[in-house]
Structures are given as C-alpha cells and as structure tokens.
Amino acid sequence: MVLLWDDYGFKNGLFMSPKNYRKYIFPWLKQICEAAHKRDCKIMLHSDGDLMEIFEDIINSGVDVLNPIESTTANPEYDIFKLKKKYGDKITFSGNLSPIMLAMGELSEIEEYARRLIREVAPGGGYIFGSGHSINPAVTVDRFEAMYDVLKKYRNYPIKVPK
C-alpha cells in the first residue's frame, strides 16, 4: 500500500478549481497510480475536505482507497452513504466517523453512527472503518472504546448489524 497525503479541499470546496486540478494534479497522480499498480501496490489517498467536484477524477486517476470522506463538509452530496451507492464498486472508502463526535459525542451517538457505517458502507467490501480524520487528544478512552467495541462486534463478513 502506498499512502499519499495531499489535501485538495476545505470543508466547503476545493483549494483550486477543478480545471487547475485536472491540469496540475491529475496527470501526476495518475502516473503515480499506474506505477504502483504495475508493482501490485494499492494507492490510498488522504485528502480532507469536500472533493465532490473532482471525485470521479480521483477514481479515474487510479486511486484505490480515499481517506477520510469527512462527515463534516458543507456539501450534503459529499456523504459517504450516497457515495457508496454511486461509486462503491469503483473505490474503497476509509473513515468518516466525525472527530468532533468522537471528542464530544454521547457514547450512544458514537455507537449508533459506527453501527450505521458498518451496516451501510461495509457490505460488499470497499470500506475501511475509522475516524473521519484522526483520533485527537480530546477523545476520551471511553469514547474510543465505544467506537472500537462496535467495530469488534460487527467487523466480520457477512455484515450483520441490526438497526
């Protein structure tokens, strides 16, 4: 696995226009992906923010895994549940559990969202469970354990998570 860390977006859109992304970023990203794939390596791209305007470009570049699919962007279309339905056979999704929720949420809220992610995004493969960014210092042990306990309980295929 080759990990690329190259943010392209803010919570409310891209750092640059899609035109400039396609001119300056896409060609080298595609070249890196092709070189990695020739060596049987997968590519995971970490890029924060709302990437909706270039989502298909990221897929077409050859990226295998996109991290983190932030749940806190301003764009309601940049939603892991919608993206899984539309692109789930083309790319693997990673993350999405809000760092804000992990730091300040109720345990029941964390557990329910973690169950929903596994129930709706993991079936059929193409999902790596995790935070929508990082596990920051504000995350208490009990909140982390709430997330992790859900993962331990429901991580095995076939996925069977009750509503």
- What's the CATH code of the domain at 126? 3.20.20.210
State the pLDDT at residue 163. Answer: 82
State the pLDDT at residue 138. Answer: 93
State the pLDDT at residue 160. Answer: 87
- Token pair 């557990």 in the structure block, residue: 111
Q: DSSP code of 14?
A: E
Decide if 23 is inside a domain.
yes
Token pair, residue 117, equals: 């992610």
- Name the amino acid, one letter, at 49: G
State the pLDDT at residue 133. Answer: 84
State the pLDDT at residue 158. Answer: 85
Into how many domains does the chain fold? Answer: 1
Query: What number of CA atoms fall less than 13 Å from residue 26's CA on the CB side?
Result: 17
Task: Print the domain residue range for 25.
Answer: 2-154
Residue from 30, 33, 76 nearest 52 by CA: 76
- Name the amino acid, one letter, at 74: A
State the pLDDT at residue 18. Answer: 98
Residue numbers of the chain with a pLDDT score lower than 70:
none
Note whether 95 and 69 are within 8 A (CB): yes
CA distances from 99 to 16, 104, 141, 144 (A): 25, 9, 14, 11
Decide if 161 is inside a domain.
no
